Amino acid sequence: MRVLQFYRTYLPETHGGVEEAIHQICLSTRKHGVVQRVLTMAHVQNVETLELPEGQVIRVPVQAEPASCSMGVEAFRVYREQAEWADLIHIHYPWPFADLVHLLSGAQKPVLVTYHSDIIRQSLLEKLYAPLRWLFFRKVGRFVATSPNYLATSRLLQRLQPRVEVVPLGLAPESYQPPSEEALRAVEQSYGSGFFLFIGVLRYYKGLRFLIEAAARTGLPVVIAGHGPEQKALREQAERVGAKSVQFAGFVSDDVKQALMARAAAIVFPSCERSEAFGVTLLEGQLHGLPLITCEIGTGTSFVNQHGETGLVVPARSSEALAGAMQQLHENPEKARRMGLAGRERFDSVFSGNQVGERYLNLYRKLLEPDSI
């Protein structure tokens, strides 16, 4: 079985939740004999192909990025060529350019769409885009929601029933290497241990301004790892409010990320908008046996993190609530330890790469066998 993954950006150029989700889907389905290719956009001069463990990655030059929607004229040609190779096409939403590319390609292969998030910020542009989206959606055989929470709260996904199935994101533990001694020493020297850890792209919807305020209230150590458009404003805020316990690690390598997880007391994930549909970092935290602190925003973050069992779920946009949750875990280390262990058990039972890979494999087979749809 040959599957073409299609999304606007991918590793190694960018590192985000959707990129990691595609990476893990490819790894977990390859165990079952699925040959995967990833077609994506990148800041390259010419079309190029990378050979990665998960499969070939074909990168097409980006020529424009209006409202973060990557576009490039060569994508039309390369997509037609790769669609001919594939038995099935797996597209990751939202990316309006993908809808146009597929519709103009004339490809007749079965299509699966993983629906990662509603379009939240560009509401006016979404209204203009809606007719194109519905033309594309008519061509889609199945949609995947990444959590029952998101399916229940997304009006658009509700309109797509009964073509929607829930398949959570997952991770293959063997795809993560333990941190090196060098990385562990570097983390300990720079940040110590027992800190509250955030890892991710520094975007508006991550709610990090509330985390910085919570750190200023409590004085508890916080490490923010990652870079992004909010980086300068967050550093300025931390200095302004006197959040001296907050340290910014910037972009970190996979080795350093694993070392940070190994030395952290908990993962704190203060995302405050529905743009945060799941949170792969939460799964990585559970893989390391860490308790989680998240905010209730009606998405998969509260599917991963079960309040009172694997961590604490607090109201969104409340620095006071975040501070209270951090203080609670800090003052009750045994409770935090039990939550971390429960999180690892939940990871093994719900989010393991093998289970997710098998569920996607079953979906691929359904789409390739019309009588079963």
What is the CATH number for 206?
3.40.50.2000
Closest CA to 308 of 329, 322, 327: 329
- State the pLDDT at residue 15: 85
- Please report which helix (H) or strand (E) contains residue 34, including its range: none
Judgement on whether residues 163 and 193 belong to the same structural domain of the protein: no
Judgement on whether residues 319 and 330 belong to the same structural domain of the protein: yes
Say what the pTM is. 0.89
Beta carbons within 10 angstroms of residue 327's beta carbon: 15
Q: Which pLDDT tens digit goes with each residue over 144-177?
A: 999 999 999 999 999 999 999 999 999 999 888 9
Closest CA to 150 of 168, 123, 130: 168
Q: Reduce the DSSP state of residue 290 to 3 states and report it.
A: coil
Judgement on whether residues 7 and 17 belong to the same structural domain of the protein: yes
Closest CA to 249 of 240, 260, 261, 258: 260
- State the pLDDT at residue 369: 86
Judgement on whether residues 137 and 214 belong to the same structural domain of the protein: no
- Please report which helix (H) or strand (E) contains residue 237, including its range: helix 231-241
Among the residues of 10-90, which ranges form H helices? 17-30, 74-85
Q: Which domain holds residue 279?
A: 174-351
Judgement on whether residues 338 and 361 belong to the same structural domain of the protein: no
The rounded distance, in Å, linking the Cα atoms of 352 and 287 is 9
Chain centroid to Cα 1, Å, comes to 26
Number of domains in the chain: 2
Judgement on whether residues 165 and 206 belong to the same structural domain of the protein: no
Judgement on whether residues 111 and 253 belong to the same structural domain of the protein: no
Closest CA to 195 of 222, 156, 158, 157: 222
The rounded distance, in Å, linking the Cα atoms of 93 and 143 is 10
- State the pLDDT at residue 372: 46
- State the pLDDT at residue 370: 65
Q: Reduce the DSSP state of residue 361 to 3 states and report it.
A: helix
Judgement on whether residues 361 and 258 belong to the same structural domain of the protein: no
Whole-number Cα distances in Å, 326 to 91, 130, 211, 219, 243: 38, 41, 10, 10, 15
Judgement on whether residues 193 and 340 belong to the same structural domain of the protein: yes
Helices then strands, counting H and E runs in the chain, come out as: 15, 14
Judgement on whether residues 333 and 269 belong to the same structural domain of the protein: yes
The rounded distance, in Å, linking the Cα atoms of 149 and 329 is 25
What does the pLDDT profile of the chain (373 residues) look like in tens digits? 999 999 999 999 988 889 999 999 999 999 899 999 999 999 999 999 999 999 999 999 999 999 888 999 999 999 999 999 999 999 999 999 999 999 999 999 999 999 999 987 776 788 889 999 999 999 999 999 999 999 999 999 999 999 999 999 999 998 889 999 999 999 999 999 999 999 999 999 999 999 999 999 999 999 999 999 999 999 999 999 999 999 999 999 999 999 999 999 999 999 999 989 999 999 999 999 999 999 999 999 999 999 999 999 999 999 999 999 999 999 999 999 999 999 999 999 999 988 899 999 999 999 998 654 4
Judgement on whether residues 182 and 311 belong to the same structural domain of the protein: yes
- State the pLDDT at residue 5: 98
Helix, strand, coil tally for the chain in percent (to 5): 45, 20, 30
Judgement on whether residues 275 and 362 belong to the same structural domain of the protein: no
